[in-house]
Structure 1
Amino acid sequence: MFGLIGIVVIFVMVFGGYLLAGGKLGIILKSLPFEMMMIGGAAIGAFLISNDMSAVKQTAKDIGKVFKGPKWKPDDYRDLLCLLFSLIRIARQNPVSLEAHIEDPENSDLFGKYPKIRDDHEAVDLIADTLRSASMNYDDPHQVEEVLEKRIEANQHHALHSSHALQNVADGLPALGIVAAVLGVIKTMASIDQPPEILGKMIGGALVGTFLGVFLAYGLVGPFAAKVKTVVEEDGHFYQLIREVLVANLHNHAPPICIEVGRQNTPHHFRPGFSELEEALKAVKQDAA
């Protein structure tokens, strides 16, 4: 929602201010298709050269994050804490029955209560692999924490590729705008024998290239890259929460303490209240009884 509002504000303020200052859109609209073809086409071509097909597809998909925002909402953090609480209790009370949940999460009735989490392969794999390692006595908390940290960092580095790719495009757009403007000047110089009013329009059309390159870079593509990065980093807290809770579990803290550690490490705007979480955990205990 805010993404759309931001785009509207940019266009209204830039072009509204131009019109209020006495500018005319005719010269811009006349030159826009050709300048957009040169600048936008060159930017897309450079983007394709510098990225493989998987990165191109991922970037196209991640652009939607500008408008959708983070994948994980406050309710998802509460559900994750409830899921981890249930898994830790099972691991402490009946380790054998835990195997069915972590070896086949898709058919687990426990994971089935939280379909959004179950459908996220990275979250499920992170939980299952860590609990599986603990069941094999791979229980050095510091070593597990280091392994989880490296894994999460690697995943986040990969997820940030779209942001870096978009930022590279944004960095190149002003220069591509200059290229288009230079071509416009070349065209103008070839018509130097024309009257001043015609030359003025041609020079104005050439300058549209410079304007368009800078406008796209700092008004649209650059902010898109920044927003994608922000959303990826916000979603990264969800996986950090898994690490915090499961490492606390390896320190043999009581399940409620493990969950409280996770709650305290949840970003404030996603963190469930203590009473809210307590009620959710009571419901979990009643369902398990």
Structure 2
Amino acid sequence: MFGLIGMALTFAMVFGGFILAGGHLEVILHSLPHEMMIIGGAAVGAFALSNETSVLKHTWPGIMRAFKGARWTQADHQDVLCLMYQLLRLARSSPVELEEHIERPEDSTIFREYPRILKDHEAVTLITDTLRSASLNYDDPYQVEEMLSRRIALMRTEGMHVPHALQSTADALPALGIVAAVLGVIKTMGSIDQPPEILGKMIGGALVGTFLGVFLAYGFVAPLAQRLTGVRRQDESFYEVIKSVLVAGLHQHATNLCVEVGRQAAPDNLRPSFVSVETALREIKRAS
């Protein structure tokens, strides 16, 4: 929502200010289709040339994610804490029964209570692989913490491919705008025998290319890349919560304390309150 408001505000302020200053949109509108073809086409071509297929496939979903915002909400963070509580409690009371849940999470009555988490492959495998490793005596808290940190770092690297690609495109757009402007100047020099009023419009049209390159770069693509970077970082915090609970569990802390460690690992704007988490855990105890 705020992304769309930002786009609308950018357009309104730039072109509104231009019109109020006495500018005429006719020159821009006349040159816009050709300049956009040159700049936009070159940008798309360079983007396709410089990125792998996997990045290209995730570009549009990534752009949509930038507008939709972070995937995980405060309620999701509370749900994952409740899920981890149930799994850790089961791991200590009945390891054999836990195996059924971590081997087939899609059939698990525990996982199915949290469908949004169950749909996320990374979250589910992060939990099940770690619990499975612990059942095989790979339970050194420090080694597991290092392993989980490397795994989350790999997820971070993969998730940042699209923002980095968009930022590279933003860096290239001003130069592509200059290319379009130079082509406009070449066209103008080929009509040097025309009267000044015609040459003036042709030069103005050529400068539209420079304007568009800079405007698109710093008004849209670079902010979009920055926004997507922030969204990715917020999403990553969800996995940091899972890691914190798992490592605390391997340290043999009380299950409630493990959950509290995970709650403290959540960002402030996504962290559920202590009271709401305790209330949820009490309801789980009553239901079991």
| In structure 1, distance between residues paired with 2:191 and 2:285 | 82
Alignment of 1:135-284 (within 5 A): 135-284=135-284
Q: 1:51 Cα deviation (Å)? A: 1.0
**TM-score, structure 2 as length reference:** 0.99
Aligned to 1:49: 49
| In structure 1, distance between residues paired with 2:264 and 2:53 | 40
Q: Would you identify which runs of 4 or more consecutive aligned residues in structure 1 move more than 6 Å? A: none
Aligned to 1:125: 125
| In structure 1, distance between residues paired with 2:168 and 2:259 | 41
| In structure 1, distance between residues paired with 2:143 and 2:136 | 14
| In structure 2, distance between residues paired with 1:54 and 1:236 | 20
Matched, 1:93 2:74: no
Q: 1:65 Cα deviation (Å)? A: 1.4
Q: 1:265 Cα deviation (Å)? A: 1.3
| In structure 1, distance between residues paired with 2:266 and 2:39 | 43
Provide structure 1 residue ranges, at least 5 long, that are not aligned to the other structure.
none
Paired residues in the alignment total 288
Task: Give CA deviations for 1:235-271 in whole Å, capped at 9, x if unaligned.
Answer: 0000001100000000000100000111111111111
Aligned to 2:30: 30
The residue type paired with residue 152 of structure 2 is: I
Matched, 1:39 2:39: yes
The residue type paired with residue 154 of structure 1 is: L
Q: 1:123 Cα deviation (Å)? A: 0.1
The residue type paired with residue 233 of structure 1 is: R
The residue type paired with residue 204 of structure 2 is: G
Q: Say which is worse superposed, 242-251 or 48-57, in terms of deviation.
A: 48-57
The residue type paired with residue 286 of structure 1 is: R
Aligned to 1:69: 69
SS state at 1:264 partner: helix
Q: Say which is worse superposed, 88-97 or 51-60, in terms of deviation.
A: 51-60
The residue type paired with residue 264 of structure 2 is: Q
| In structure 2, distance between residues paired with 1:235 and 1:112 | 21
The residue type paired with residue 45 of structure 2 is: G
Task: Give CA deviations for 1:123-174 in whole Å, capped at 9, x if unaligned.
Answer: 0000000000111111110000000000000011100100000000000000
Once the two structures are aligned, what percentage of the paired residues are identical?
61
| In structure 2, distance between residues paired with 1:277 and 1:116 | 18
Q: 1:54 Cα deviation (Å)? A: 1.6
Q: Say which is worse superposed, 277-286 or 39-48, in terms of deviation.
A: 277-286
Provide structure 2 residue ranges, at least 5 long, that are not aligned to the other structure.
none
